[in-house]
Structure 1
């Protein structure tokens, strides 16, 4: 029977990229950690890690073993929490990751409310636009906004919100230009785009109409708030998620253009490893985000 502590030490070494970093994080000597992993390899009769003075890489069997070791540790944690959740509120650490726009648009407003609701829960949010391997990097939850359905990944997927992508422009800009009554007329207007190659816009209208609109790109930025600011400044027409525009529309800084048309939808989905969802802290975070983001998405523009 394998020692559960050895599995935990091995998983820590993998997740921190080597014995030295894991030893510092765990507060144990590096030699102890290395020895315990070596004893684990000896008991299994296989090499799990290729070690040199400069590198720490898993063997093929080591990668597969790590995946199952993490599952065992998660199950053990879940078993402990099954008991603890009956006598205590959600507690512990929940590791959460999202892209920059998703964090700004959805999480920034609601995570402080979560902290107040569960003072014994520590949510660690990493905001990054790089691809994150949720399982291998040890995250409990990933929140992703996407335009197309997410591919199968073995992760639990739970939709948080879905909203239209709308066209907006400043009133002063529209007053100075010819009327924009059909998507085809966008060719006579200036466009604020995510990239110079992101044209034409695919627009969907009444009775399942689908039309391309090709404004003249006068500014490109791959950050939605920059495009929002440019639209509010009267530089042209922007194509943005409805909730991002809500405050500017209510303040009269922007007007929705072609209100019967949209450029598709953006969906925000929560993903998590199946076993992590059994932990009380993770479950409380998930339910809180589901409730908050569903309410946000239901607000009218």
Structure 2
């Protein structure tokens, strides 16, 4: 079995053009390098280098051996870097961008624990509903909620969660207006809608996603913010379509009740988007793993 350290000495001698320059670079005596490479040749029972007072050239087998030895050293350094990055305590600034609903409903409950878990990590959250160019604006992570698949790009995408959009109303509303048994009955109920362009709901039965039914309930209130619609539903103004996680606690506590529980109005996906190289930094990787852990639980 050869001494793997001798590979380092051999590769250094080749890359620096001789034992003398390699010894200066490594800070070791020239005689030590020469002796170790000679021992390597003895172990291999092959001549790797043609030595003379004025030349330092590789033999044919030496050239082949050098390519493999160099690749082995590169792999060893890569393995060391993996361990170093894993054990390094995350630090530095991680810039995150998210829309207002995502920040309020998904990130706000968890980011304080991220700061507590990694004291040397500084999280900078930019909350905006405008389109953000992650690369050009220097963000490490974008947290995006979307109904359709994100377009292909050079960015790394990591899907965190997918949840249904469900119909809910207050018990008081459902006592005064008969709870609909089928989607078509929603045409006779007060709708809490997301905008002038969102007056129709496309409903699908669980397990039969292709059999969609489109309904247009009369608008009782229109708002492009989910918390406003949630509050209106709790107040008994009508039926709203909301992300399941947003109204789950209200359903458990009895403030809201599911309407048409076997149906949903689409699904919303949360995805972490990041530049490829930024995702390799320990602080960014720790933040991504944390968000997957927290948001993935719903």
How high is the TM-score relative to the length of structure 2? 0.70
Q: 1:179 to 1:84 in 2, by over 3 A?
A: closer
- Do structure 1's residue 278 and structure 2's residue 275 form an aligned pair? no
Conserved? CA contact 1:196–1:217, under 8 Å: no
What are the superposed Cα offsets for residues 230-260 of structure 1, whole Å, 9 maximum, x if unpaired?
A: 0000000000100000111111010000000
| Distance in 2 between residues matched to 1:242 and 1:267, nearest whole Å | 12
| 1:246 maps to which of 248, 251, 257 | 248
- Cα RMSD (Å) of the superposition? 1.5
* CA-to-aligned-CA distance 1:269-301 (integer Å, 9 cap, x gap): 0000000011000000000101111112xxxxx
* Structure 2 partner of 1:160: 160
Kindly provide the CA deviation profile for residues 19-47 of structure 1, in whole angstroms up to 9, marking residues without a partner as x: xxxxxxxxxxxxxxxxxxxxxxxxxxxxx
Q: Distance in 2 between matches of 1:150 and 1:86?
A: 30
2:260 to 243, 258, 261: 258
Deviations 1:183-206 (A, max 9, x none): 000011000011022121000015
2:131 pairs with 1:131: yes
Please give the secondary structure, in 1, of the residue aligned with 2:154. Answer: coil
CA separation in 1, counterparts of 2:227 and 2:260? 21
Residue 182 (structure 1) aligned with residue 179 (structure 2): no
Distance 2:84 2:122 in 1: 16
> What is the alpha-carbon distance in structure 2 between the residues aligned to residue 213 and residue 105 of structure 1?
28
Q: Normalising by the residue count of structure 1, what TM-score does the alignment of the two structures yield? A: 0.69
Rounded to whole Å, the distance in 1 between the matches of 2:249 and 2:126 is: 26
Residues 281, 206 of structure 1: CA spacing in aligned structure 2 closer, same or farther, 3 A cutoff?
Answer: closer
Q: Measured at CA, do residues 180 and 281 of structure 1 come closer, stay the same or move farther in structure 2, by a change above 3 Å? A: same
Instruction: Note if 1:220 corresponds to 2:222.
Output: yes
Q: 1:98, 1:143 within 8 Å by CA — same for their partners in 2?
A: yes
Is the alpha carbon distance of 1:207 and 1:196 closer, same or farther for their aligned partners in structure 2, counting shifts above 3 Å?
same
Residue 269, structure 1, aligned to residue 244, structure 2 = no
Give the Cα separation in 2 of the matches to 1:193 and 1:206: 22
From 274, 279, 293, the counterpart of 1:291: 293
8 Å CA contact 1:160–1:269 kept in 2: the answer is yes
1:232 aligns with 2:234: yes
Question: Offset of 1:86 from its aligned partner?
Answer: 6.3
- Cα distance change on mapping 1:206 and 1:291 into 2, 3 Å: closer
Measured against aligned partners, the alpha-carbon deviations of 1:71-116 in whole angstroms (never above 9, x if no partner) come to xxxxxxxxxx979746641000000000001111110111111111
1:1-301 aligned at under 5 Å gives the runs: 85=85, 88-206=88-206, 208=208, 209-296=211-298
Matched residue SS, 1:109: coil
The question of whether the paired residues in 1 share the 8 Å contact of 2:85 and 2:282 is answered with: yes
For the Cα contact (< 8 Å) 2:88–2:282, is it kept in 1? Answer: no
Give the structure with higher Rg (CA): 2
Q: Which runs of 4+ in 1 moved over 3 A?
A: 81-88
